[in-house]
Structures are given as structure tokens and as C-alpha cells.
């Protein structure tokens, strides 16, 4: 049996399976990176001392890593022939706004700005992390 591209169906499935595994491996690693960034942010918000630039870097890193994870999730669903929607746009928007405010007011205490951004997000950062940790377990 041949697909429209001229490849045997088994070869196409095999290539897709290989891509699935690559995406899953990358996704697993990105979730681990996000976990570290998340813990650094949450520790800072709970009172742990950190340099302002360091925590802003963690917040930017969290935003970038979460975006990569979103792309991996969309890719996996597409490879499986399913549709999905990423529902944490509010978190992205609020982090972006916080980062803009922090850049505009360099030298000020970033803690209240970051806390407000995360509090205003729906779903909450904790819910996003819970979902991603469950997903990470399923990738093992």
C-alpha cells in the first residue's frame, strides 16, 4: 500500500513514530527545565532572596520554555491527528506585561509585579504546572 507521497504506509508510520519519540524526549526535557524555573519563581515569591535581574531572567526563561512546551504539545497532537488548544494565553499575556513593567521600572522590587501577574492569570501557574507534571509522568 502506498501513500500519496509515494512512500509505503509502514515507512510513513515509522517516520511519524520516530518524530513522536523525538518530540516526547524534547518535551520531557523542557518540562524539567520549566520545573526549575517555576521553583525559582515560587521560592522568590515566598520570600527567598534573589537578585532582581536573576528573577527577571527566570521569569523570561519560564515564558520562553512554556512557549516551547506549547509548540511540542501542538506538534504531538497534530502527529496524532487530533486538535488541541493551549489555554494558558492569559499566563503568557500577564508575564509579558510584568516583564514590560519591570523593564520600565528598573531597580524597583519585582516581587509585587510578578505576584500580581501570576494572581491575575487564568489558569493559575500552579494549574499549568500540575497539568505539565502529569504530562511529564505520562512521557516516561
Residue 8 lies in a domain: no
Are the C-beta atoms of residues 45 and 115 closer than 8 Å to each other? yes
Residue 70 lies in a domain: yes
Domain that holds residue 101: 24-139
Q: What is the pLDDT of residues 76-108, one digit of tens each?
A: 888 888 888 888 999 999 999 999 999 998 778
Mean pLDDT score, 116-131 = 96
Mean pLDDT score, 117-132 = 96
* Count of C-beta atoms within a 10 Å radius of residue 96: 13
Residue 12 lies in a domain: no
Please check the confidence at residue 129 and state whether its pLDDT lies above 80: yes
Residue 55 lies in a domain: yes
Q: What is the pLDDT of residues 59-72, one digit of tens each?
A: 999 999 999 999 99
Q: How far is CA 125 from the centre of its chain?
A: 10
Task: Retrieve residue 67's grid coordinates.
Answer: 512557549
Q: Which of 82, 67, 66, 71 minimizes the C-alpha distance to 129?
A: 66
| Count of domains forming the chain | 1
Residue 4 lies in a domain: no
Q: Which of 56, 61, 57, 67 minimizes the C-alpha distance to 114?
A: 56
Residue 121 lies in a domain: yes
Mean pLDDT score, 111-132 = 96
**What was the pLDDT predicted at 106?**
78
Average pLDDT, the chain: 86
Amino acid at each position: 500500500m502506498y501513500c500519496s507521497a509515494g512512500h509505503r504506509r509502514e515507512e510513513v508510520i515509522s517516520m511519524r513514530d520516530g518524530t513522536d519519540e523525538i518530540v516526547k524526549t524534547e518535551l520531557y526535557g523542557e518540562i524539567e527545565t520549566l520545573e526549575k524555573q517555576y521553583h525559582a519563581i515560587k521560592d522568590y515569591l515566598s520570600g527567598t532572596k534573589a537578585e532582581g535581574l536573576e528573577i527577571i531572567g527566570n521569569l523570561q526563561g519560564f515564558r520562553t520554555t512554556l512557549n516551547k512546551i506549547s509548540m511540542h504539545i501542538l506538534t504531538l497532537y497534530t502527529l496524532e491527528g487530533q486538535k488541541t488548544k493551549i489555554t494558558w494565553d492569559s499566563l503568557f499575556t500577564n508575564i509579558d506585561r510584568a516583564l514590560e513593567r519591570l523593564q520600565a521600572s528598573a531597580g524597583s522590587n519585582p516581587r509585587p509585579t510578578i505576584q500580581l501577574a501570576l494572581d491575575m492569570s487564568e489558569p493559575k501557574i500552579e494549574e499549568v504546572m500540575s497539568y505539565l507534571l502529569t504530562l511529564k509522568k505520562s512521557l516516561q
